[in-house]
């Protein structure tokens, strides 16, 4: 079954999931096992999180050294494109909650403790329960895909110890029809997989193989799963990372919480299988590329080199 170009599959039927992620790169996945209570609690939290005054957001905003907290509205622009209008969202950044005594804290600035907003005391508990459920789905999906294409699931699991997994809680306010800014510019995820409970107002679009854009519709009982660049490289191109964007619908606010599954910062991702024909062999240093993405999101920062992939793609 296909919803506007995105196959609808069951996690209990792995062959359909593999086929979808090897062709479209996206799938609407049923039977994922995430409790509705976790998803509903996160949906409510997203609305409450951004319903606070701007002064409170400024007090709890991200900094250059601590990429956790509120992201101001229209603060970030597409990497490497100074002429593009900033994306029309505001956000709140959370990373894997690294234990205080964990030695990896001294190895990478992206590890640490999350900041929690002052006006939602229940947020740590809500996020913790939701995070554990999303992690469980990510583990199931990764094992299924690794088995199907012939990768060693154990090797992938080792790379996920002390992960750089993160989420950006997103609010796209209502916009005027003549607003030129995108909701979120076209990009690919530098992840293993990304998992999303999509807002029913829509707006997420996937670039089809003919390079046209199609709405990524998703049934209410499914989650969207897409392949990130890291899994595409690991699989030697057998699983495909697909460009996507957000075109916020006119007259409607949109909320989302994409769950970005990312390995340990020391991981260097290279093909674990002989690459398929046409796939360009490449190596991705996870910690460096992730740090570059966050650093160059600041409007006055430039990439350190011309080779590092920062996720942005052409329209």
CA–CA dist 179, 85 (Å, integer):
10
Distance of CA 16 to the CA centre of its chain: 22
Q: Which domains does the chain have, with CATH numbers?
A: 2-296 (2.60.120.330)
Q: Which two tokens stand for residue 14?
A: 């792995």
How long is the chain?
A: 315
pLDDT value at residue 82: 63
pLDDT value at residue 2: 42
Longest dimension (CA), the chain: 54
Nearest 5°: CA angle at 188, between 131 and 222? Answer: 45
pLDDT value at residue 4: 47
Q: Which two tokens stand for residue 165?
A: 């997994």
DSSP code for 249: P
Report residue 120: phi and psi, to 5°: -130, 85
CA–CA dist 25, 68 (Å, integer):
29
Cα dihedral 34→39→41→46 (10° resolution): 140
- Per-residue pLDDT of the chain (315 residues), as tens digits, is 444 489 999 999 999 999 999 999 999 999 999 999 999 999 999 999 999 999 999 999 999 888 899 999 998 766 556 677 888 899 999 999 999 999 999 998 899 999 999 999 999 999 999 999 999 999 999 999 999 999 999 999 999 999 999 999 999 998 877 787 878 888 999 999 999 999 999 999 999 877 689 999 999 999 999 999 999 999 999 999 999 999 877 778 999 999 999 999 999 999 999 999 999 899 999 999 999 888 888 878 777 777 666 666 665
Q: Are 76 and 86 within 8 A, CB to CB?
A: yes
pLDDT value at residue 84: 74
CA–CA dist 199, 62 (Å, integer):
25
Q: Are 256 and 223 within 8 A, CB to CB?
A: no
Cα dihedral 182→186→192→195 (10° resolution): 40
* 231: helix, strand or coil: helix
pTM, two decimal places: 0.94
CA–CA dist 163, 264 (Å, integer):
4
């Amino acid at each position: 079954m296909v919803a506007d170009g995105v196959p609808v599959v069951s996690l209990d039927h792995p062959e359909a999931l593999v086929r979808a992620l090897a062709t479209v790169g996206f799938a609407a996945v049923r039977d994922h096992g995430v409790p509705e209570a976790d998803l509903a609690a996160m949906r409510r939290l997203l609305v409450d999180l951004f319903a606070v005054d701007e002064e409170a957001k400024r007090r709890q905003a991200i900094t250059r050294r601590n990429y956790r907290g509120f992201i101001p509205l229209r603060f970030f622009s597409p990497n490497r494109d100074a002429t593009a209008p900033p994306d029309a969202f505001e956000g709140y950044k959370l990373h894997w909650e690294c234990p205080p005594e964990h030695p990896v804290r001294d190895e990478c600035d992206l590890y640490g403790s999350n900041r929690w907003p002052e006006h939602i005391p229940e947020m740590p508990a809500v996020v913790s329960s939701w995070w554990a459920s999303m992690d469980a789905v990510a583990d199931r999906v990764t094992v299924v895909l690794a088995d199907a294409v012939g990768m060693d699931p154990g090797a992938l699991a080792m790379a996920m110890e002390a992960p750089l997994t993160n989420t950006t809680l997103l609010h796209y306010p209502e916009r005027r029809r003549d607003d030129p800014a995108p909701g979120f510019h076209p990009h690919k995820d530098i992840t293993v997989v990304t998992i999303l409970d999509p807002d029913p107002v829509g707006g997420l679009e996937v670039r089809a193989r003919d390079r046209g854009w199609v709405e990524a519709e998703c049934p209410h009982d499914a989650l969207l799963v897409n392949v990130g660049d890291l899994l595409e490289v690991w699989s030697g191109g057998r699983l495909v990372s697909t460009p996507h964007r957000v075109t916020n619908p006119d007259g409607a606010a949109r909320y989302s919480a994409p769950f970005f599954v990312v390995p340990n910062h020391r991981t260097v991702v290279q093909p674990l299988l002989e690459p398929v024909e046409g796939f360009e062999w490449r190596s991705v240093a996870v910690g460096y590329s992730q740090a570059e993405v966050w650093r160059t999101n600041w409007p006055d920062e430039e990439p350190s080199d011309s080779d590092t992939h920062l996720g942005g793609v052409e329209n």
